[in-house]
Amino acid sequence: MKAKRGLDLAVQAVERIKARHPEVDLWIGHGKFGGHGDTAVAIAHARAARRWAAETFPGANVGHMVLAKTTGSQTDIDLFRGSSEFLVGYVCIPDPGWHDAVLALRPCFEVYHDVQYVVGTYLLAGGKLGPLGTSLAIEAEQRLRPFSRFYSGFPLSNNELGAMWPVTQWELMSRTGLFDVSPADLWVPVVEPTVGFGEWNVPTTSRSWRWAHQFADRLDRCVVIHAGAGGHGSLKVPSLDVFAACAAAAWGRGYTPIQVGIEGEAVVPGCVDGRGLSLPETAWLVGRATLLVCAEGFLAYVARVVSTRSLTFFGPTPTGMFGFFEERAEDGTLVFPGHVNHSEGKCSACWWLTGGGWDGKCPKANRTCANFPGPGEAQDLTVRVLLACEANPWPRAADGEPRDPEGQAAVQDATAANGGGVVAKVGEPKEDEDGDGTRADGGGAAELQQSRGHGEGGEGDPRADARRDPLDYL
């Protein structure tokens, strides 16, 4: 009943945003209901859609809207700050049921993309789309058909999908949807900690102001550590002693380890306390770090936006689908060297195998995920990664701006920006529960082949050039 009321309010919020923008000719919705990492992917999907819409609907004023799940935290709002350049608005919904959300929201848009790794595309019959809508609907059905059982069986079918095919989530979205999406489409706001945010006009906390000045001289050699992603005791997150070992390794190499996250997260021993920074401030800090250490989740996406390398620990989720790998432009230029996507590989990925408790309930009744390293292994691995970073330095962000990889500038120039940036949020605040590629060729998804080999965690590796040791990327 609560979920239904939330969806009713969400539909009302969508209609209010639409009413405030009569200049928009055609509305496109992008729904993805998970953690903050999933919201970042929905925003990336919307940015990629702008390129597609500019070619498909020439001359039309197209409005994009993201529908996401709210945790009730400030991060929900921070994720969208400054996004009015490419989004007309967004709506955050508390705990929407996937199937119910699709049924309730898709009639609100001429085109609605349900982004559940496999993308379902729905087009409003007749009306503004006309005959073009029919041809697009046929194309969408043809692209989805080879993966329809995984889409209709979401979320439990996704573990099977991740184990069967060597495909990243970006390739999967590109093959099953109507356009290409890549990590270069990711975006988060980035702001240097100051008394005020300037263009966002939101004051920082006194704590973050003191922090920015106290540790500014240490940012040339720092390692950022995030031990959140839902808290400890979760199978998705290594134990605190693993992160403490990474901090010790950083000190040993002459780096300052700085912990980020929400203020209530458990303290990692040996770290400078940078918790409590806002998301834009955290992104700014990550952009200046030599390395981010985190569990698989939202902060790994943030690191990709600002082109900072990450040592990312994978537990029950498949590295092949959710890792960030080496990316090159068409001329061979290295765009991003990739994260070190680490898994002990003792168990095949069991993502969603246990239903909604996949990140906290091991099918083998283990208290912690067997794919995480012990403290000693984590310390040695951190030293190896830092040595590789020193041997092959990657430029850090400058002046508080994320580096703009090949293709990302095209996202901004593809269509005229939609104005307004109307924001709607549904639901009462509650405690934050979340911490949380390559271009496809556009061909049919049936071209994908089942994996014959096994990568980290037992799943197939996504690409031939990703089958090297992750440290080779650095």
Per-residue pLDDT tens over the stretch 359-393: 888 888 888 899 999 999 999 999 999 999 999 88
Yes or no: say if 286 and 168 are a contact pair by the CB < 8 Å rule: no
**Residues 59 and 96 placed together within one structural domain of the fold:** yes
Asked if residue 446 is part of any domain, the answer here is: no
Which sign, positive or negative, has the C-alpha torsion 437, 443, 449, 450? Answer: positive
Asked if residue 376 is part of any domain, the answer here is: yes
Asked if residue 198 is part of any domain, the answer here is: no
Domain that holds residue 40: 2-187+409-426
Per-residue pLDDT tens over the stretch 412-449: 333 223 223 334 444 333 344 344 432 333 322 223 33
**Residues 119 and 238 placed together within one structural domain of the fold:** no
Q: Beta strands 222-226 and 422-425: pairing type?
A: unpaired
pLDDT for res 204: 46
Asked if residue 92 is part of any domain, the answer here is: yes
Token look-up 């996704």 returns 158
**Residues 175 and 37 placed together within one structural domain of the fold:** yes
Cα torsion through 287, 341, 36, 102, rounded to 10: 140
Asked if residue 8 is part of any domain, the answer here is: yes
pLDDT for res 427: 39
Yes or no: say if 405 and 307 are a contact pair by the CB < 8 Å rule: yes
pLDDT for res 210: 52
Report the range of poorest mean pLDDT among 299-303, 309-313, 392-396, 446-450.
446-450
**Residues 39 and 82 placed together within one structural domain of the fold:** yes
Q: How many separate domains does the chain show? A: 2
**Residues 225 and 113 placed together within one structural domain of the fold:** no
Per-residue pLDDT tens over the stretch 106-153: 999 999 999 999 999 999 877 788 889 999 999 999 999 999 999 999
pTM: predicted TM-score of the whole model, two decimal places: 0.84
Taking CB atoms within 8 Å and a gap of at least 24, the contacts of 462-466 are 462/166, 462/167, 462/168, 462/171, 462/320, 462/321, 462/323, 462/325, 463/166, 463/168, 463/325, 463/438, 465/325, 465/326, 466/320, 466/323, 466/325, 466/326, 466/338
Per-residue pLDDT tens over the stretch 249-277: 999 999 999 999 988 888 999 998 888 88
Asked if residue 25 is part of any domain, the answer here is: yes
Per-residue pLDDT tens over the stretch 149-185: 999 998 888 888 888 887 899 999 999 999 999 999 9
Task: Centre a 10 Å sphere on the Cβ of residue 239 and count the other Cβ atoms it contains.
Answer: 17
